[in-house]
């Protein structure tokens, strides 16, 4: 459990954030300047709030009313920054062990060999940071933070300086950490793709204030958050599992409570969990069962709400089984089709974004 209730003013910027969140990975989400880094710096003890309190797993790190302000080095917080910030004069092994030396032997619960194996670092141990790729440096930085024996791991935009292939590599390693180690992670990003893939609970920040806290599914489809993050698009997130593979047509069928979706081949075994993100602009509507269309995915749904967007489009909220979908259509289409709240309709899904979630059947 992470409990944050803090206030801090720096110049014209006023940070006033209150939230509680419990999950393997808690995502701090919002656009640049929303206060995400200020929050994790306060958790780490790098900055001091003017008032409030911070608790991690019932351990009080800061409480202005009680005069508690645990020193950063005693908070047992692992911190992975945007840049790896490795010591250039040390080899990889020495970098890894730097933080561990500050911990008493009885507090060294995370094993060095296990972390090295988990992050694939053994071939790198004798190399210096200047010989490593960006992805390799970030893996070493994660390993160093873990071997400092933290009670919580903070990751502040850890993929910001990496190219796309390296981002995918590090995302996979973070998922391994989530599944293998019992350490809560606070992951800071303004990337919808990263937050959708990794986070189980999301804290949305905007202009120094917490505007939403909740599960990935319930927060990411809330239409009012379009201004809370860079390049945000209204979308729905669905938890599903691989149901079948069609090698001949290179297609995968995934199943969820509301039915099945046929998607391009996904390298995953039957039963493996996937997280599906469907953009509102990739959902069309039909008042009757569609025929003679190239769209493979048509799901029966019910209209639960219709929201104006301030332009020529409207967002139609749908329920499909226990899942929620959003369709962004023109106002003209809404009137021509006579779509109304409570109506049965078909959702035609043109594209989905898929992320493996691990964890097996």
Higher local confidence (pLDDT), 107 or 283: 283
Backbone angles phi, psi at 197, to 5 degrees: -70, -40
Based on the fold, state whether residues 243 and 138 are members of the same structural domain. Answer: no
Alpha carbon separation from 247 to 78, 253, 264, 265, 361 (Å, rounded): 44, 11, 10, 8, 21
In-domain check, residue 67:
yes
Domain boundary among 232, 266, 284: 232
Instruction: Give me the helix-helix angle, 164-180 and 134-147, nearest 10°.
Output: 20
* pLDDT at site 233: 65
Q: Does residue 361 form part of some domain?
A: no
67/77 Cα distance (integer angstroms): 20
Residues 35 and 182 in one domain: yes
Q: Alpha carbon of 32 to those of 83, 86, 134, 229: distances in Å?
A: 17, 25, 22, 8
pLDDT tier for residue 79 given thresholds of 50, 70 and 90: very high
Q: How many domains does the chain have?
A: 2
Q: Are residues 249 and 225 both part of a single domain?
A: no
Residue 59 resides in a domain? yes
How far apart (Å, rounded) are the C-alpha atoms in residues 122 and 252? Answer: 35
Q: Can you point out the beta strands (E) in 136-286?
A: 152-156, 185-189, 201-206, 209-215, 235-246, 251-256, 259-264, 273-279, 283-286
**Can you read off the two tokens belonging to residue 18?**
């209150």
Considering the domain architecture, whether residues 148 and 182 belong to the same structural domain is answered as: yes
**Please, which pLDDT band fits residue 216 given cuts at 50, 70 and 90?**
confident
Residues 189 and 94 in one domain: yes
Give just the sign of the alpha carbon dihedral 76, 79, 84, 87: negative
Rg from Cα positions in the chain: 23
Q: Is the dihedral of CA 286, 291, 295, 301 positive or negative?
A: positive
Looking at 232, 249, 272, the residue that finishes a domain is 232
**Burial letters 300-316, b for 16+ CB under 10 A, else e:** ebebeebeeeeeebbbb
Same domain, yes or no, for 223 and 267?
A: no
Q: How confident is residue 359, by pLDDT bands cut at 50, 70 and 90?
A: very low
Q: What pairing do the DSSP bridges indicate for beta strands 77-80 and 152-156? A: parallel
Tell me, yes or no, whether 89 lies in a domain: yes
Cβ burial, residue 230 (10 Å; 0-12/13-18/19+): exposed
pLDDT tier at 66 (50, 70, 90 boundaries)? very high
Q: Identify whether 88 is part of a domain.
A: yes
Supply angle C-alpha 331, 298, 191, rounded to 5: 70
Where residue 221 sits, what CATH number does that domain have?
Answer: 3.40.50.300
**Does residue 14 lie in a domain region?**
yes
The proportion of the chain whose per-residue pLDDT surpasses 90, expressed as a percent, equals 51
Residue ending a domain, choose from 208, 232, 256: 232
Task: Mean pLDDT check: name the lowest of 62-76, 216-230, 322-336.
Answer: 216-230
If DSSP codes are grouped into helix, strand and coil, which group holds residue 316?
Answer: strand
Are 107 and 55 in the same domain? yes
Q: 299 and 350 share a domain?
A: yes
| Structure tokens belonging to residue 49 | 């709030």
Whether residue 9 is contained in a domain is answered as yes
Using pLDDT thresholds of 50, 70 and 90, give the confidence band for residue 292. Answer: confident
Name beta bridge partners: 156: 188
Q: Which of 254, 304, 260, 246 is nearest to 275 (CA)?
A: 254
| Same domain (yes/no): 171, 29 | yes
CATH of the domain at 287: 2.40.50.100
Strongest mean pLDDT among 34-48, 98-112, 213-227, 265-279 = 34-48
Q: Given this model, what pLDDT does residue 301 score?
A: 95
Could you count the other beta carbons within 10 Å of the beta carbon of residue 251? 15
Least confident range from 96-100, 103-107, 141-145, 238-242: namely 103-107
Using pLDDT thresholds of 50, 70 and 90, give the confidence band for residue 230: very low
Looking at the fold, whether 203 and 57 belong to one and the same domain comes out as yes
Calculate ∠ Cα 86-90-91, nearest 5°.
95
177 and 28 assigned to the same domain: yes
Which pLDDT band, with edges at 50, 70 and 90, does 196 fall under?
Answer: confident
HSE-CB at 21 with a 13 A cutoff on CA atoms is 28
Structure confidence by residue, pLDDT tens digits, 125-167:
999 999 999 999 999 999 999 988 888 999 999 888 888 888 8
Interval 12-23 mean pLDDT: 92
326: containing domain: 236-356
Rounded to 10 degrees, the C-alpha dihedral 186/209/237/231 comes to -100
pLDDT score of 326 more than 70? yes
Cα separation of 221 and 244, whole Å? 27
Give yes or no: residues 261 and 180 share one domain.
Answer: no
Q: What is the pTM of this model?
A: 0.77
Query: Is residue 229's pLDDT more than 60?
Result: no
Q: How far apart, in Å, are the Cα atoms of 123 and each of 91, 127, 284?
A: 12, 8, 50
pLDDT at 43: 96
Q: What are phi and psi of 226, to 5 degrees?
A: -60, -30
């Amino acid at each position: 459990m992470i409990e944050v209730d803090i206030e801090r003013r720096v110049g014209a910027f006023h940070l006033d954030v209150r939230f509680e969140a419990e999950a393997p990975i808690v995502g701090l989400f919002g656009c640049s300047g929303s206060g995400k880094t200020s929050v994790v710096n306060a958790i780490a003890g790098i900055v001091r709030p003017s008032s409030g309190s911070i608790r991690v797993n019932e351990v009080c790190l800061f409480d202005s009313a009680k005069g508690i302000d645990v020193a950063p080095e005693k908070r047992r917080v692992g911190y992975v920054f945007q840049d790896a910030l490795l010591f250039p004069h040390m080899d990889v092994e020495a970098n890894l062990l730097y933080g561990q030396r500050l911990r008493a032997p009885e507090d060294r619960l995370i094993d060095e060999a296990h972390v090295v194996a988990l992050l694939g670092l053994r071939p790198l141990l004798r190399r210096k940071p200047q010989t490593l790729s960006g992805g390799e440096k970030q893996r070493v930085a994660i390993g160093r933070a873990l071997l400092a024996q933290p009670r919580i791991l903070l990751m502040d935009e850890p993929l910001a300086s990496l190219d796309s292939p390296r981002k995918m590599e590090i995302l996979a390693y973070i998922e391994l950490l989530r599944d293998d180690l019992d350490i809560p992670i606070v992951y800071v990003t303004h990337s919808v793709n990263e937050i959708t893939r990794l986070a189980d609970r999301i804290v949305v920040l905007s202009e120094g204030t917490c505007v939403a806290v909740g599960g990935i599914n319930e927060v990411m489809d809330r239409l009012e958050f379009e201004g809370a993050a860079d390049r945000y698009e209204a979308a729905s997130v669905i938890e599903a599992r691989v149901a079948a593979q069609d090698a001949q047509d290179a297609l995968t069928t995934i199943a969820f409570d509301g039915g099945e979706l046929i998607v391009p081949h996904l390298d995953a075994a039957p039963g493996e969990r996937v997280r599906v993100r469907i953009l509102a602009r990739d959902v069309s509507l039909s008042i009757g069962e569609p025929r003679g269309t190239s769209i493979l995915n048509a799901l029966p749904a019910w209209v639960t709400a219709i929201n104006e967007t301030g332009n020529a489009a409207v967002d139609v909220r749908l329920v499909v089984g226990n899942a929620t979908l959003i369709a962004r259509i023109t106002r003209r289409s809404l009137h021509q089709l006579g779509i109304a709240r409570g109506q049965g309709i078909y959702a035609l899904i043109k594209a989905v974004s898929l992320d493996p979630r691990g964890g097996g059947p």
